Chains A and B, each alone.
Chain A
Amino acid sequence: MITALLTAALIILALAILGCTYRLIAGPSRSDRIAALDTIGINLLAMIAVFCMLLDTRALIEIVLVIGILTFIGTAVLARYIERGSVIEDGDDR
């Protein structure tokens, strides 16, 4: 029963990622696509946590941390690229 509930949670999360993929493809502006990518990363992190519970192992929890960090850095870098036109500037402010 617990396995069935965890599988249901995995399926629901997969449907959520599918909806985010629709917004990623069809989003009218680039910021929509960035928001969709951020949400896909966060849902993927949640899927891996559920998968750890399903497999009854704690070996995959580092992947949760790594995906969280990569999602945040990717969103920050893409937002900065849209806002300023470049990621690393040759300014005198460093």
Chain B
Amino acid sequence: MATIVEWISVLLALAGAVFCAISAFGLIRFPDVYMRSHAATKSAALGVLFILGGAFLYFWAVDGAVDARLLLAIVFVFLTSPVAGHLNGRSAYRSGVKMWKGSVRDDFKDVLEKAGTSAPDAAFEKEKPKLP
């Protein structure tokens, strides 16, 4: 019984590694920082979740111990990876990184224009912070 769970966990780890490799491939091949961020955030998080779940199952089967640290790491990666991708994409847009020329939709630009600002940097800062 323990051997079967061991095999399942090792295959989960291998599948997660393949997902991470696919995400690195997307990070190389995509033409745009936003698409690259999409590849780097979502599929890498899925691969890491597979690997950490496999490690959790492995130690559960071999040592008979439920490791709370691995569960904590799973929850943490699952929470923070999309947040980091969102922060990075927003900072890329507001610092003026151009989208790919084949992109067909730009919702954030409409939001910025509705806020009455043309410069992409001024939508969230109505008054400039005063320098001391």
Contacts and interface: CB of A to CB of B under 8 A. Distances in A.
B129 interface: yes
Contacts of A58: 59, 63, 65, 67
A2 B6 contact: yes
Contact of B77 (A6, A52, A68, A80): A68
B91 to A, nearest CB: 4
A49 B10 contact: no
Interface in A59-83: 61-62, 64-65, 68-69, 71-72, 75-76, 79-80, 82-83
Interface of B: 6-7, 9-11, 13-14, 16-18, 20-21, 23-25, 27-28, 33, 36-37, 40-41, 44-45, 47-48, 51-52, 54-55, 58-59, 62-63, 65, 67, 69-70, 72-73, 76-77, 80-81, 83-85, 87-92, 94-95, 97, 129, 131-132
20 contacts: A2-B6, A15-B24, A16-B23, A16-B24, A20-B24, A22-B28, A23-B27, A30-B95, A32-B36, A35-B41, A36-B40, A38-B85, A49-B51, A50-B51, A53-B10, A68-B80, A75-B84, A80-B87, A82-B91, A91-B129
Interface of A: 2, 5-6, 8-10, 12-13, 15-20, 22-23, 27, 29-32, 34-36, 38-39, 42-43, 45-46, 49-50, 52-53, 56, 58, 61-62, 64-65, 68-69, 71-72, 75-76, 79-80, 82-83, 89-91
